[in-house]
Amino acid sequence: MHEMELHDLSDDADYAASIQQGSESMNRGDSSKRSSCSEPEGAEILYLKDNVAIHPTQYASERISGRLKLIKQGSSLFMTWIPYKGQSSNARLSEKDKNLYTIKAVSFSDIRSIRRHTPTLGWQYIIVVLSSGLAFPPLYFYNGGVREFLATIKQHVFLVRSAEDANVFLVNDFQDPLQRTLSSLELPRAVSVANGPSPTLSTESASGSDAEKGASDQSSVSFQQNGRQRQKHNDPARDISIQVLEKFSLVTRFARETTSQLFRESNIDGFTPNERKKNSQSSHEHQSLIMSNDSQKVPEDVPVTSDSPSDPLEFDRLSLVWGKPRQPPLRREEWATFLDSEGRVMDSKALRKRIFYGGVEHNLRAEVWTFLLGYHAYDSTFAEREYLISVRKSEYETIKKQWQSISAEQSKRFAKFRERKSLIEKDVVRTDRSLSFYDGDDNPNVYLLRDILLSYSFYNFDLGYCQGMSDLLSPILFVMRDESESFWSFVFLMERLGPNFNRDQSGMHSQLFALSKLVELLDTPLHNYFMQNDCLNYFFCFRWILIQFKREFEYEKTMRLWEVLWTHYLSEHLHLYVCVAILKRYRSKIMGEQMDFDTLLKFINELSGQIDLDAILRDAEALCICAGENGAACIPPGTPPSLPLEDPMAYPQLDDDVL
């Protein structure tokens, strides 16, 4: 117990200053607000703060402001965040969209930690992490109040500072400290939070006076969710996910109005008159694609439900428009025909199209991947590439020496370095060890993985290292077989995928949102099913997007999929259409077996190694063609992998100021 007190908030100057004014100032300053709220009998508002905002996108103008509360009922403490009604100047955000972010009375018995961020510039914000390992979107305090928030919590639950990270505060952590970094590669598993189901706050809608103030306490929770009684059993995974996960990762829902209406009309063919005309024109444009595949049948495992007239896309489009058959991989002889005498790629679009439909022969990948990743320009010559390789090799050695030169004494005083080095060393020995290239004790390739990742953590110190990066580097090193070339290829890959690993999960949020809009566009019945079964967060696709399906296919097929995605031939976001294609392929099973979130999560995890890559790529191509501009409108600007590289805030990670 003495050890825990060493990391208690009582050693913090901010806490010491706020403890005297925390709940007292709330009682004085917000008494009039409380009196106007319709709270359930026996509930007491301990903390109330207005203008606490969520940022669904990278644009500050699109923030959603609301009211944050700490409420005590009995011996239990709850947190709620309710967005304001009717005060957004952003026409792309409807009230329904904003309400998807509502945090409806989450119990602190379901919360594992709270991380406080204090950037040098900008507003303070917190990230609340649940016992399942998932996190709510960051909550920005535009008018201050983080100290009082933590001080109030401290008075009612056991809250201690993490021994590993001074910015993390552990909730009800009576034994081992929280591991600082959670594994994003494994599907979430809830930890035991109590011997029985967590209590749930009973709340009612806000009064009229509250609505006039802009707060919207419209939805409530009382041992129920969406009118259904919670199942009371000792499965914390279900207790947490069924009540809370619908509110995770629900980033902005602001696609154009035509997007949300497409394929949702009640016409017999599923199109409005204007859409029917456009569809007819589109059919002529794709006639060659259709005719080239009219003898190819829809694979038997593609779920087509005859009793789904509300899903016209199943019959009117995908049964006719089908992705082109896959071709043999690009070979060296054919590769040479794309180059002029000095080594320039003469037609980069034709090359990318060829790779899109066939991939690349393995012994050619080391050369071609550097173009696909942007390491080498398509118009560079042999001589220019050789010179760049030599320059980059020298630069890499300089970067590597930065961490190699850190002495043992320095390391003792460099917590960030020790932390990252320890995490990398733990991860690389678990990465693809079933491959002979990485198999065995003291494998030099495993050490190369470690060295490259450590060097990258110094090259991009803001982003550093996160679990999952070793999975992205492994195939690159396997192909390149050169340390410097692997490092720089990884650098260029991370320019696209780095936002996946942002601490506030903004990159993942934007992609999960775009995926939800694409499913709504391309398979409305499936989207409605997810909405009815509390699955709209699409978190079951998290691993697919984070590491680009690395765990879903065999190693060779993963490399083939990656090079197809890297072509950006049809879309920079083809990986999202791949997600839709997989979900559509198994839609009958998902809907037929009435899968809830937990069952769906387990089912998706068990698909690993069972997905037909060629069929999925054909499906994804067809879906991308069918979606057209409406599909592009579903994807917010800046969504990875097209995040502007010149954006200085692409990796907003350096905010580890100590409280």
pTM for this one? 0.57
> Which residues, other chains included, contact 397 with Cβ-Cβ below 8 Å and sequence gap of 6+?
484
Residue 161 CA to residue 46 CA, distance in Å, equals: 22
Residue 535 CA to residue 308 CA, distance in Å, equals: 20
Nearest in space to 168 (alpha carbons), one of 648, 564, 503: 503
pLDDT at 585 over 70: yes
Residue 68 CA to residue 215 CA, distance in Å, equals: 10
Instruction: Please report the pLDDT score of residue 348 as a whole number.
Output: 96
**E strand or H helix that includes residue 66:** strand 64-73
Residues 487-533: tens digit of each pLDDT: 999 999 999 999 999 887 888 989 999 999 999 999 999 999 999 98
230-243: string of b/e by CB count within 10 Å (b at 16+)?
beeeeebbbbbbbb
Highest mean pLDDT among 140-144, 177-181, 533-537, 566-570: 566-570
pLDDT at 352 over 90: yes
Nearest in space to 8 (alpha carbons), one of 115, 162, 117: 162
Q: Residue 118 burial by CB count (10 A; 0-12/13-18/19+): exposed, middle or buried?
A: middle
Residue 468 CA to residue 204 CA, distance in Å, equals: 42
Instruction: Please report the pLDDT score of residue 561 as a whole number.
Output: 97
Residue 355 CA to residue 368 CA, distance in Å, equals: 10
Instruction: Tell me the residue length of the chain.
Output: 659
Find residue 81's DSSP bridge partners.
68, 103
Find where tokens 């965040």 sit: 81
Instruction: Please report the pLDDT score of residue 487 as a whole number.
Output: 98
Over residues 188-209, the mean pLDDT reads 38
Q: What type of residue sits at position 2?
A: H
Highest mean pLDDT among 20-29, 89-98, 334-343: 334-343
| DSSP at 247 | G
Instruction: Please report the pLDDT score of residue 181 as a whole number.
Output: 35
Residue 289 CA to residue 331 CA, distance in Å, equals: 25
Residue 243 CA to residue 198 CA, distance in Å, equals: 11
Rounded to the nearest integer, the mean pLDDT of the chain is 74
pLDDT at 177 over 80: no
Side-chain half-sphere exposure of 459, counting CA atoms within 13 A: 22
pLDDT at 639 over 60: yes
Count of CB atoms situated within 10 Å of the CB of 580: 23
Count of CB atoms situated within 10 Å of the CB of 64: 24
CA distances from 623 to 192, 268, 516, 563, 630 (A): 41, 21, 14, 19, 11
Higher pLDDT, 274 or 65: 65
